[in-house]
Amino acid sequence: MSPINRRTALGIAGAAITAAAGIGIPFVSGLTGARSTGKLLPSRTPIPPAFRRRLTIPPVLRPSRSDTTTDYYDITQTVARAGILPGPATELWTYNGSFPGPTIRSTRGRTVKVRYTNNLPVPTVVHLHGGRTPPDSDGYPIDYVYPTDMSYYALHHNPQQMTSDHGRMTMTGGDTREGRRTHVFPLDQRAATLWYHDHRMDFTGPSVWRGLAGFHLHHDAEEASLRLPDGDLDLPLMITDRSLDSDGSLLYPSLDPTLVNRPGVRGDHVAGVLGDVMLVNGTPWPVMTARRGTYRLRFLNACNARRLSLRLDPPPPNGIAQIGTDAGLLAEPVRHDHLELAPAQRLDVLIDFSGYAPGTRITLVNDFDTTAMGQVMRFVVDDGRPEPFKIPSRLSTTPPLRPEDAVVTRKFDFRAGDVDDHDGWLVSHAPFSPDTIAARVRLGTTEIWQLNADFHHPVHLHLSPFQVIARGSEGPGPYDAGWKDTIDLRPGEQAKILIHFDGYPGKYVFHCHNLEHEDMAMMANFIAT
Amino acid sequence: MTTTGNTSSPASGTATRLRRRWPIWLFRITITAAAILAFNQAVFAGQFLSGTYPALRLHRDMANYTVAAIAASIITAILWRRAGAGPRWPLPAAVALFALTALQTFLGYRLVLAVHIPLGVTVILLLVALTAAAWRPTR
Ligand code: HEM
Ligand SMILES: [Cu+2]
């Protein structure tokens, strides 16, 4: 071998090693993938200890008055302080001073009217998530309710800053109100675990993070006939992850901390903000005493971006029976050993604690995380014995939608992309604008929407629930049963949903419910006629 | 360094053409780097399609470095030809790849994935072929 060839051979070997390292290192370091699309925001305070404080159930709101058709409620959006940490109190934005907000319980056949008063420093918008609501009460993202006290807003509001870039932020507002607004909820819909939360354009993420979310539990005769566990056996559980600052306040990586002008979050948090303190109904890692009976647990993932995989450890001897989801009861119970839940989704389950010995400590774990966030809350079984409950084999009659009945198939792409020269998120290549209509649908018709995702995108449609008919080349997944209003799209996934449009004519939005994606423009309009 | 293949002595033929060794090494280094960077684009695409957001940033940043490495390969291809009496093919090959990769980047930003992905695979194949050719022992 000539010296030149030896040198070449050595060079080839060197190049091969370089190539192996240059490719192998990034390859191996990224093999695991991610359970949630988002970036952890570490708290600047020691995280509170787990399983010390009791679980609380948000108060049920009493109507201010009622007449033959309608129950009237009053909710004030207000700053409040809550003891989340053992140390300093945490300032929150709340509905009626509590986080979660007060629970509204409604029954099909009676209209609910809620008068919201905005005593917060910034404009608000309320959306009843999962509600079959006329457009003027649905909380369109620019239907602002301006603060009763405009001083903060007037001080910080800078129109110049808002009209920067490409005019996406020039919107002054849609159908706005000063101080208060009454939402009319006909609630002509099946019994379901609904929730209400802030929906202000560009600022939903920080507003919900600060506490603007509450349950709305809707009932109907079909559900009542099942005599499901109720009272203290019917537990709405709102799971949220949050991060806290050293002074006890909530930490959030806003570009504009006044939450008035420039939307968005710093750096890779545009992928989603993940907290490192797990709250259930506003309490970090709470404990609950459970009697040895069957509980109805209504799980709501109200995290901005975090996906959850919930499991009881040790597992309940009789398993977990899912009876409902976003838009109401399933046709029949579905058994699970764990529950996967994307942001905004609900799973309504029955768990029989009677198989556990008194004194057993059961941890609700989250298998999508390995840190402290791998735990959610704890149940401690006592020796109380409520009446045994037998899970019915049929729950509700839901006429299945048929793909053959679809009048059109539409395709929407949920992907990363530029928004006003910043990293953002697009629906079919377009950032949200109140003036761009992505779909015109006819009420009374059924459509197939094919949804493609690059990352995790929990896609939510207002007004009309849907059924998942396919994921990739497969059928629906284990948590897709029943009527959904939010689908857990996973990276690279392509899913088909069947939507029956029904309700009220007008303009509605559909969007990603990773709230940082939503705020960074992953939203679009449809008009129903 | 102005001695080129063109000016080498016509009388003594190719065997005695002045053949400097360093230009081929430069070309080998730049084209190998380009091939690794391009291949890693597929690695990063796989990662962000598994939900890892920073991999998308890497995919985008590495697009620039890939284009830069190919631009550098154009220069080293010229050097190899001129100063190292190298073959003719590296220059047009590097120029073509530069154009394809620039197009690839554009299509990436425009999310024209139906073209972006097959073109990405093609770019990787071509770069690997070019790298293999560059590493062929020269007499
Ligand atoms: C030479 C190779 C490549 C270059 C220069 C390149 C460049 C780019 C660029 C600049 C983007 C836009 C990123 C952004 O919007 O932030 C992009 C997106 C993308 N690339 Fe590539 N790419 C290459 C190869 C590949 C390959 C081989 C694949 C797949 C096998 C791929 C898959 C994708 C996908 C799926 C997107 C869309 C990202 C999304 O939906 O968010 N690319 N690429
Ligand atoms: Cu999203």
pLDDT tens digits for A339-392?
999 999 999 999 999 999 999 999 999 999 989 999 999 999 999 898 889 999
Give, as residue ranges, everything with CB less than 5 Å from ion ligand 2: A 457, 512, 514, 517
Q: Do both A267 and A319 map to the same domain? A: yes
Q: SS3 of A244, please?
A: strand
Residue A410 contacts residue A427 (beta carbons within 8 Å): no
Q: Mutate which of A455, A494, A512, A514 to disrupt the B interface (most B C-beta within 10 Å)?
A: A455
pLDDT on residue B6: 44
Residue A198 in domain: yes
Residue B5 in domain: no
Nearest atom in ligand 1 to the alpha carbon of residue A417 is 15
How many Cβ atoms sit within 10 Å of the Cβ of residue A488? 26
Q: Which ligand gives the minimal distance to the CA of B105?
A: 1
Ligand 2 centroid, distance to A264 Cα (angstroms)? 14
- A&B contacts, CB < 8 Å: 88
Ligand 1 neighbour B98 (Cβ under 6 A):
no
Ligand 1, atom 34: closest residue by C-alpha: B45
What would the mean pLDDT of A9-32 be, rounded to a whole number? 77
pLDDT band at B17 (very low <50, low <70, confident <90, very high): low
Residue A31 in domain: no
B43·A27 Cβ contact <8 A? yes
Q: Does B112 touch chain A (CB under 8 A)?
A: no
Chain-centre distance for alpha carbon A306? 9
Q: Do both A244 and A143 map to the same domain? A: no
Residue A323 contacts residue A349 (beta carbons within 8 Å): yes
A39·B46 Cβ contact <8 A? no
Q: Do both A456 and A501 map to the same domain? A: yes
Q: Do both A333 and A473 map to the same domain? A: no
Q: Which whole-number Å values give the CA distances from A416 to A51, A429, A452, A519, in the listed order? A: 38, 9, 12, 13
With CA atoms as reference, the chain A residue closest to B55 would be: A30
Q: Out of A135-139, A151-155, A474-478, pick the least confident.
A: A151-155
B-chain residues near A32 (CB < 8 A): 50
pLDDT tens track for A312-347: 999 999 899 999 999 999 999 999 999 999 999 999
Residue A318 in domain: yes
Judged against a pLDDT cut of 50, whether residue A169 lies above it is answered with no
Residue A514 contacts residue A272 (beta carbons within 8 Å): yes
Judged against a pLDDT cut of 50, whether residue B1 lies above it is answered with no
pLDDT band at A171 (very low <50, low <70, confident <90, very high): low
Judged against a pLDDT cut of 60, whether residue B16 lies above it is answered with no
Judged against a pLDDT cut of 70, whether residue B68 lies above it is answered with yes
Domain that holds residue B84: 19-134
Residue B13 in domain: no
Residue A114 in domain: yes
What kind and span of H or E run contains B44? helix B22-48
What kind and span of H or E run contains B38? helix B22-48
Judged against a pLDDT cut of 50, whether residue A65 lies above it is answered with yes
Ligand 1 neighbour B116 (Cβ under 6 A):
yes
Q: CATH number, domain at A164?
A: 2.60.40.420
Q: Do both A371 and A412 map to the same domain? A: no
pLDDT tens track for A87-131: 899 999 999 999 999 999 999 999 999 999 999 999 999 999 999
Q: Do both A213 and A244 map to the same domain? A: no
Residue A37 in domain: no
Residue B7 in domain: no
Q: Out of A195-209, A276-290, A302-316, B79-93, pick the least confident.
A: B79-93
Residue A471 contacts residue A451 (beta carbons within 8 Å): no
ipTM score over 0.90, yes or no: no
pLDDT on residue A74: 98
B53·A18 Cβ contact <8 A? no
Residue holding tokens 């493609």?
Answer: A452
pLDDT band at A457 (very low <50, low <70, confident <90, very high): very high
Q: Do both A83 and A219 map to the same domain? A: yes
CB-CB: which of A11, A34, A415 is closest to B52?
A: A34
Q: Do both A361 and A311 map to the same domain? A: yes
Chain-centre distance for alpha carbon A75? 21
For CA atoms B33, B38, B43, B48, give the dihedral sign. positive
pLDDT on residue B9: 40
How many Cβ atoms sit within 10 Å of the Cβ of residue B51? 23
Q: Mutate which of B24, B31, B41, B43 to disrupt the A interface (most A C-beta within 10 Å)?
A: B43
What kind and span of H or E run contains B43? helix B22-48
Judged against a pLDDT cut of 90, whether residue A174 lies above it is answered with no
Q: Do both A422 and A446 map to the same domain? A: yes
Residue holding tokens 């799973």?
Answer: A347
Domain that holds residue A417: 403-528
Residue B28 in domain: yes
Tally of structural domains, chain A: 3
Q: Which of B6, B14, B35 is nearest to B132 (CA)?
A: B35
Residue A339 in domain: yes
B49·A8 Cβ contact <8 A? no
Q: Please state the pTM of the whole predicted model.
A: 0.90
Residue A409 in domain: yes
A38·B53 Cβ contact <8 A? yes
Judged against a pLDDT cut of 80, whether residue B13 lies above it is answered with no
H helix intervals, A322-464: none
Tally of structural domains, chain B: 1
Buried b (16+ CB within 10 A) or exposed e, A437-471: ebbebeeeebbbbebbbbbbbbbbbbbbbbbbbbb
What angle in degrees, to the nearest 10, is found between the helix axes of B90-109 and B113-135?
A: 160
Q: Do both A197 and A95 map to the same domain? A: yes
Q: Do both A244 and A113 map to the same domain? A: no
Residue A439 in domain: yes
Give A37→chain B minimum CA distance, Å: 6
Q: Do both A192 and A259 map to the same domain? A: no
Question: What is the average pLDDT value for chain A, to the nearest integer?
Answer: 93
A30·B52 Cβ contact <8 A? yes
What would the mean pLDDT of A421-432 be, rounded to a whole number? 93
